[in-house]
Amino acid sequence: MNLHFPLSNERYIMKRIIVLLCLGFVFTIDCSEINVSATEWYKGQLHCHSHWSDGNTLPELVLDWYQTNGFHFVALTDHSALQTDKDKWKVVDPKLIEESQSKFGHWVEVKENDGKVLVRLKPIDELREQFNKDGAFLVVSSHEQNATVAARTLHAIAANITATIPFPNEFPAVTDAVRKWQQNTLDNAEKNGNIGFWMVAHPDWPYYDIPPTVFIEIPEIEFFEYNTTSAPRTKSTRPFRHPLMPDPEKFWDIINAFRISKGHKPIFHVATDDAHNYRDFKDNGVNPGHGWVVVRAEKLAANALFAAMKNGDFYSSTGVTLKDIHFDADSRTLSVDIQPEEGVKYSVRFVGTKKGFDTTTTETVESDDPAREYQPARTGLIYSNGIGVTLKTEDGVSVSYKMAQDDLYVRAIITSDKKPKYLEVNKPLTESAWTQPYGWSLKQ
């Protein structure tokens, strides 16, 4: 099932009817008062890797996978550098070269050196020229940022940029580094006429390195990644999820409860693949197709997409498709309409936090801390059970929730009874979707 193609049949028909009406009554109707421009849903991937870093295939094959599988935009987020080097050659598996040549012909450049076959990695501008199609597919310039700050791993996604954004080494504290790195990214985008995107990647990796307190202290952080590849591992293989870390849902609600109660915007949730493996698919957590976002934007263009995301007009998914999300401020009602798949059942859980929630925390430590062998042991905080409570649960494909006067915000978790193709431990056991928080800007 394809997710959302620009301009659904119903909206296409309605748009034509409006246009015909305008033409037929041109002397009596001012058509300029009728908005016939369409706002569409676009499916996108904002974290994936290729041979430009530690992905296991060529960048064009990565983009081809996403394009073939119904995505509208992709940010190729290789580590620590934007793909701008026009003379980057790499020894790769000959089978990859054959596959690329079978799809793209002479566009693929190969040479031999000391008996080895090398291929030229295509830079971002050439990838855009090859793949970009108006209204159908878009390659977004981006890279993953990687650093260690005060024994904490800090990874971030920088997108809609024109150059590599280096780590600000003069800032040894995590919060200072986060602020500066984000600002440097957004400054690069702005000076080039772009709307920048900056997101903290997998805050749980590898040892609960970025706790909720960082996001609460820095309300300027707009996005965090729900990395669906995260999964517990044995101590010897360095687990992704630290025992002290709240589960992903609680983690998100902790941040938003404290932010909104202080008059700040919530943080928005971005599901991704963080895919590295595009060959020999296994249930190992690094394949494509685990998680993505669907953005409601005026057009398929980076500035339009990121402007919409900064307004929270998107949802995250691991398989569930939504027809519509609507929040009516007058009635304080969040409505969710699901695009059902035949034979699949759906349930929607509305989650929020009440005004005046218990803000006290209890400090805790883990006796068998998995970080201890490699990094300083972690300290965690236990938060109130009043944060992130279920406000309503309803089965069906068209459901709604009217906010109570004491709700700080509401968001919806949509779950199905269909298992995902690749089942991860920390990923929901069934295909799911998440709206962003709503109602937080209403007058309290």
Give a yes or no: residue 444 inside a domain: no
Q: Residues 141, 15: one domain?
A: no
Give a yes or no: residue 399 inside a domain: yes
| pLDDT for res 439 | 98
Q: 247: domain CATH number?
A: 3.20.20.140
On whether the CB atoms of residues 154 and 147 are closer than 8 A, the answer is yes
Give a yes or no: residue 439 inside a domain: no
- Name which of 393, 403, 385, 404 is nearest 257 in CA terms: 385
Give a yes or no: residue 195 inside a domain: yes
On whether the CB atoms of residues 94 and 116 are closer than 8 A, the answer is no
Give a yes or no: residue 147 inside a domain: yes
| pLDDT for res 374 | 81
- H helices of 378-429, in order, are none
Q: Residues 47, 107: one domain?
A: no
**This prediction's pTM:** 0.89
Instruction: Select from 120, 142, 164 the last residue of a domain.
Output: 120
Say how far apart CA 441 and CA 444 lie, in whole Å. Answer: 8
User: Which positions ≥6 away from 247 have C-beta within 8 Å?
Assistant: none
Provide the domain limits for residue 20: 1-38
Pair of tokens at residue 231: 């999964």
Separation in Å, CA 81 to CA 78, 145, 422: 7, 8, 30
Q: Residues 67, 17: one domain?
A: no
Sheet of 89-91, strand order: 89-91, 116-120, 110-113
Q: Residues 115, 232: one domain?
A: no
Q: Is the bond preceding 203 in cis, omega lying within 30 degrees of 0?
A: no
Say how far apart CA 442 and CA 440 lie, in whole Å. Answer: 6
Q: Residues 365, 249: one domain?
A: yes
Domain count across the chain: 3
| pLDDT for res 34 | 34
pLDDT in tens, the chain (444 residues): 344 444 443 443 444 444 344 444 333 333 333 333 458 999 999 999 999 999 999 999 999 999 999 999 999 999 999 999 999 999 999 999 999 999 999 999 999 999 899 999 999 999 999 999 999 999 999 999 999 998 899 999 999 999 999 998 887 788 999 999 999 999 999 999 999 999 999 998 888 899 999 999 999 999 999 865 444 444 444 445 688 989 899 999 999 999 999 999 999 999 999 999 998 776 555 789 889 999 999 999 999 999 999 999 999 999 999 999 999 999 999 999 999 999 999 999 999 999 999 999 999 998 888 888 888 889 999 999 999 999 999 999 999 999 999 999 999 999 999 998 766 555 788 999 999 999 999 865
Say how far apart CA 88 and CA 421 lie, in whole Å. Answer: 35
Q: Residues 410, 364: one domain?
A: yes
Q: Residues 52, 113: one domain?
A: no
On whether the CB atoms of residues 378 and 366 are closer than 8 A, the answer is yes
Q: Residues 226, 106: one domain?
A: no
Give a yes or no: residue 353 inside a domain: yes
Sheet of 314-317, strand order: 138-140, 73-75, 40-45, 292-297, 314-317, 432-434, 411-416, 346-352, 389-395
Q: Residues 152, 21: one domain?
A: no
> 42 forms bridges with which residues in the sheet?
295
Q: Residues 27, 72: one domain?
A: no
Q: The tokens 């068998």 sit on which residue?
A: 368
- Name which of 249, 181, 182, 245 is nearest 213 in CA terms: 245
Give a yes or no: residue 350 inside a domain: yes
Give a yes or no: residue 442 inside a domain: no
Sign of CA dihedral 143, 157, 294, 328: negative
Say how far apart CA 329 and CA 309 lie, in whole Å. Answer: 19
Q: Residues 147, 21: one domain?
A: no
| pLDDT for res 283 | 58
User: Which positions ≥6 away from 94 have C-beta within 8 Å?
Assistant: 117
Q: Residues 181, 271: one domain?
A: yes
